[in-house]
Amino acid sequence: MAKDKAPRRPRAESPKGFRDYFGAEVTERKAMLDAIAEVYHRYGFDPLETSAVETVGALGKFLPDIDRPNEGVFAWQEDAEGDKPGDWLALRYDLTAPLARVAAQYRNDIPSPYRRYAMGPVWRNEKPGPGRFRQFYQCDADTVGSGSVAADAEICAMLADTLEAVGIPRGDYIVRVNNRKVLNGVMEVAGVLDPTDPERFFAERGIVLRAIDKLDRLGTDGVRALLGEGRKDESGDFTKGAGLSPDQAEVVMGFMSAKRETGAATVARLHELAGGSAIGLEGVQELEMISELLAAQGYGPDRVEIDPSVVRGLGYYTGPVFEAELTFEILDEKGRKRQFGSVAGGGRYDDLVKRFTGQSVPATGVSIGVDRLLAALQAKGRAGDASAGPVVVTVMDRERMADYLAMAGDLRRAGIRAEVYLGNPKNFGNQLKYADKRGSPVAVIQGGDEAGRGTVVLKDLILGARIAEGASLEEWKARPAQQEVPRADLVAAVRAMLEQG
């Protein structure tokens, strides 16, 4: 073996699929989360913060089989204690699984119904792709322990209020509501659900649910094929269908296109389609009630509407299903106009706690895709400008560092963000380059001459940005690039420059 092998240096890289967030990326997201939390709080929801780590058993969906339970989650086994093998632990993959655990663990302590909100990162052990990361934020609000449709209506109203609070104006979004029970009714009418024998047609219903979920991707012809005999994709692979007759398939297809001009007309159409089934009728009535409760509070179809074409999550939820879509157009990476699309979704899932306690507990909730919503705000240019750089006090004379620190201190005490240049002060150009990199609006300069006169020079760095943005020559002339002011007027003069900017 080589004796003096140089130690290998580690790569300075974040792990594949993870990224770092700098400056305004952090503050803009925080501002959005704060605005959301404020609305949730006003609705009576309480914050809950669980740890990032859960036992794999509590997470549920991903049980350890032979080797390790790493399908979709980041998981590891704790060290054994004596004979007892260590627990498998994992990073949470959403905020709902920890809520289920908490609702079971503290069922005697939490209020019932329990309204809680949670915001924070979740982790997915998936192949990363462009714009797809393995850690991302979720922001959820759920009501556990209420079976009332008023709880569903409340979530819809809160979702609308939340979107407006973060800066999406009314008209630029729509909360769409559908109901899994109506689909069940439709399946009963279509003959693939037998209320007297719930196990019958189980496989067929699975194919129907998966087919519906692919509406966006396959279009109506593709879904129709999957409802019938099956579908051959472009590669020639064949996916077996649910085996519905054309008439049966038509009932299911009719459900997804049941939306009419008004909510009342849509309800009437759904009644036609699914009213013959008890569960279907229940679903239609729930949609009607949600609609009425919301209308009574002024949440009309300009904000919340019944839309049976909402199919995402119908396989997962057990009652009402919600989706919030942004309706304005943005330009995609190829410059084509497209609608921004979905930023939040949720619904009712009544078996949340059952796996832990055996008892069914009704629950309903919504999850906001924080990063997508933030991207939408940025696309509309509505994200807050939380990124203003600090005033930079430059260092002309290393011996007078205390004076420069005092200037920054005075500015800060007046609430102005400020800092002293702390790199090597020899090259003054580097100091101005630094100020530029920091997005600094003003540089403060005091050499020996100014110190002797008791003054400071303020260099306007906003102006440079303005000129780059195309300020007129007049504006440029009317605005001195720099000015010398008495040291005692430092704070007032800087404030005036910031206000002008």
Q: Please give the single-letter amino acid code of residue 104.
A: A
Binder among 31, 32, 54, 442 for its own copies (CB under 8 A):
54
* Residue 46: both structure tokens together: 């309480």
Nearer to its own copies, 89 or 211 (CB): 89
Footprint on residues 116-145 left by its own copies (CB under 8 A) = 121, 123, 134-135, 143, 145
CB 285, min distance to its own copies, A: 14
Footprint on residues 3-42 left by its own copies (CB under 8 A) = 9-16, 18-23, 25-27, 30, 41-42
Nearer to its own copies, 20 or 261 (CB): 20
Binder among 188, 323, 325, 419 for its own copies (CB under 8 A):
419
How far are the Cα atoms of 157, 158, 207, 303, 403 from residue 300, in angstroms, in the given order? 10, 14, 35, 6, 62
Q: Does 196 bind its own copies (CB under 8 A)?
A: no
Nearer to its own copies, 328 or 434 (CB): 434
Q: Please give the single-letter amino acid code of residue 60.
A: G
Footprint on residues 81-100 left by its own copies (CB under 8 A) = 87, 89, 91
Q: Is 237 annotated as a binding residue?
A: no
Tell me which H or E stretch contains 53. strand 53-55
Nearer to its own copies, 64 or 341 (CB): 64
Q: Does 169 bind its own copies (CB under 8 A)?
A: no
Q: Directed axis angle between helix 278-296 and helix 180-190, to 10°?
A: 150
| Interacting span for its own copies (CB under 8 A) from 149-157, 190-198, 225-233, 454-462 | 149-157
CB 356, min distance to its own copies, A: 4
Q: Please give the single-letter amino acid code of residue 103.
A: A
Spatial CA neighbour of 456 closest among 413, 501, 403: 403
Nearer to its own copies, 49 or 194 (CB): 49
Q: Is 317 annotated as a binding residue?
A: yes
Euclidean distance between CA atoms 109 and 112, whole angstroms: 9
Give the length of the chain.
501
Binder among 65, 79, 83, 474 for its own copies (CB under 8 A):
79
Q: Is 303 annotated as a binding residue?
A: no
Read off the DSSP letter of residue 72: B
Binder among 31, 95, 151, 242 for its own copies (CB under 8 A):
151
Q: The dihedral of CA 234, 238, 243, 245: what is its sign?
A: positive
* Residue 424: both structure tokens together: 């090597």
Residue 11 CA, chain-centre distance (Å), reads 31
Euclidean distance between CA atoms 354 and 476, whole angstroms: 69
Q: Does 285 bind its own copies (CB under 8 A)?
A: no
Binder among 219, 423, 480, 486 for its own copies (CB under 8 A):
423
Footprint on residues 298-327 left by its own copies (CB under 8 A) = 298
Q: Does 351 bind its own copies (CB under 8 A)?
A: no
Number of residues that bind its own copies (CB under 8 A): 97
Spatial CA neighbour of 174 closest among 310, 280, 301: 301
Nearer to its own copies, 326 or 352 (CB): 352
Nearer to its own copies, 331 or 414 (CB): 414
How far are the Cα atoms of 119, 168, 368, 470 from residue 32, in angstroms, in the given order? 11, 11, 11, 31
The 3-state DSSP class for residue 388 equals coil
| Interacting span for its own copies (CB under 8 A) from 223-231, 259-267, 277-285, 355-363 | 355-363
Q: Could you tell me if 186 and 274 are in contact, meaning their C-beta atoms sit under 8 angstroms apart?
A: yes
Beta strands, E only, 332-438: 337-348, 363-368, 391-393, 418-420
Binder among 154, 204, 305, 323 for its own copies (CB under 8 A):
154
Q: Directed axis angle between helix 490-500 and helix 401-413, to 10°?
A: 60
CB 295, min distance to its own copies, A: 8
Spatial CA neighbour of 352 closest among 47, 104, 44: 104
Nearer to its own copies, 150 or 492 (CB): 150
Angular region, 389: left φ>0, alpha ψ -120 to 50, beta rest:
beta
CB 453, min distance to its own copies, A: 20
Q: Does 438 bind its own copies (CB under 8 A)?
A: yes
CB 377, min distance to its own copies, A: 18
Footprint on residues 364-383 left by its own copies (CB under 8 A) = none
| Interacting span for its own copies (CB under 8 A) from 193-201, 235-243, 295-303, 310-318 | 295-303
Q: Please give the single-letter amino acid code of residue 147.
A: G
Euclidean distance between CA atoms 234 and 212, whole angstroms: 19
CB 186, min distance to its own copies, A: 27
Q: Please give the single-letter amino acid code of residue 305.
A: E
Q: Is 96 annotated as a binding residue?
A: yes
| Interacting span for its own copies (CB under 8 A) from 52-60, 243-251, 305-313, 336-344 | 52-60
Which residues are within 8 A (CB) of 410 and not within 5 positions of it... i.e. 6 or more apart?
Answer: 490, 491
State the chain's maximal CA–CA distance in angstroms. Answer: 96
Binder among 320, 347, 390, 441 for its own copies (CB under 8 A):
390
Binding-site residue set: 94-96, 124, 138, 142, 312, 316-317
Question: Annotated binding residues for L-histidine, as ranges?
Answer: 94-96, 124, 138, 142, 312, 316-317
